[in-house]
Chain A
């Protein structure tokens, strides 16, 4: 491993190593892209694919992302963009959870849905997409709906859960699973021109309180559908929160709910009364 690290450092320019050097190292040392990326980041060398993350994220933070495991629950509108962005960000392991296959009415907004993937399991399309973006990222496909029976095993070891579900009763259950396992939850939901984002750390009840009153109510997405810009926008906000929780924690939106109105292009913040999480 020391020889590999010396090789990477020797071939790095300004601490950045080009992809062809990584490819050569993969052959020379007989290693996977995943192990190579890990070795590079541990050596203080940045794979060139992350060059434009630099100065927003340090090499240490990039390594923290690589070592993290994030569950994306739902691989439709929000989930597709979350997986795309988390893979490009450099999150090392993404657990993608969804029981469904793509259908034609997903084409307007679900980035993983193409003419080629209609009829395919959403988690299989997610695995293919991540492999094309970054073979160093492991996508764990779970073609199941989360329930109280399987959630402990599926979510075990995850550092963060991103909520990309499409029903509030399922979200309330997810918030409970996260609370039971002390996993931070990054909530997102969309409907028409509108969306909302919130974060719930262990010991907090922000998302549970937010959704409890919606348990028996039909979301306005049933009337207004979901145009493409809403999931792209809300998933990007969720990805930013995931990134901060992994890399710094100090600027998370814990204790707030953000309501997004893309029609009037206005953003409303409600402070929920939760004090900032003690770990922050």
Chain B
């Protein structure tokens, strides 16, 4: 299945801004993170199709996965 992955801020470094990638059906967010070598500690905010998701969330064909690092300064 095809997943569109959008990375933001520091997660783009040595990776990409946005890409469509092929994954086996049943893939969850955690698997995508591992393939992209993104530690879960750096994937603070996860959206699938604009809705909050978790590392355990299962993806479906055509989903848009957006991943943001934690930002906490003021």
Contact = CB atoms under 8 A, between A and B. Distances in A.
Name, among B10, B44, B68, the residue most crowded by chain A CB atoms within 10 Å (CB to CB).
B44
Interface string A241-254: 00000000000000
A193 interface: yes
A171 B44 CA distance: 15
Given A77-B74, A168-B72, A219-B70, A209 B52 contact: yes
Interface residues of A, number: 42
Contacts of B23: none
B45 interface: yes
A221 interface: yes
B16 interface: no
A163 B74 CA distance: 9
B50 A272 contact: yes
A190 B74 contact: yes
B50 A191 contact: no
B10 A167 contact: no
Contacts of A171: 72
Interface residues of B, number: 23
A-side interface mostly: mixed
20 contacts: A163-B74, A164-B74, A166-B74, A168-B72, A189-B73, A189-B74, A190-B73, A190-B74, A191-B9, A191-B70, A191-B72, A192-B9, A193-B9, A220-B70, A220-B71, A221-B72, A221-B73, A230-B73, A268-B8, A270-B50
Interface in A85-127: none
Interface of A: 74, 76-79, 163-168, 171, 188-196, 209-210, 213-214, 217-221, 224, 226, 230-231, 259, 261, 264, 268, 270-273
Nearest to B40: A217
A74 B10 contact: no
Contacts of A195: 71
Contact of B45 (A76, A210, A261): A210
Given A193-B9, A213-B44, A270-B66, A219 B51 contact: no
B8 A168 contact: no
A272 B50 CA distance: 6
Given A193-B9, A220-B9, A273 B73 contact: no
Given A188-B74, A189-B73, A213-B46, 17 more contacts: A79-B74, A168-B70, A189-B74, A191-B72, A192-B10, A193-B9, A194-B8, A210-B45, A213-B44, A214-B44, A217-B41, A219-B71, A220-B69, A231-B74, A259-B8, A261-B8, A268-B66
A191 B51 contact: no
A189 B66 contact: no
Nearest to B73: A221
Contacts of B51: 272-273
A163 B72 CA distance: 11
A163 B70 CA distance: 16
Given A213-B44, A213-B45, A273-B51, A76 B8 contact: no
A173 to B, nearest CB: 13
Contacts of A191: 9, 69-73
A142 B29 CA distance: 43
A95 to B, nearest CB: 16
Contacts of B6: 268
B9 A214 contact: no
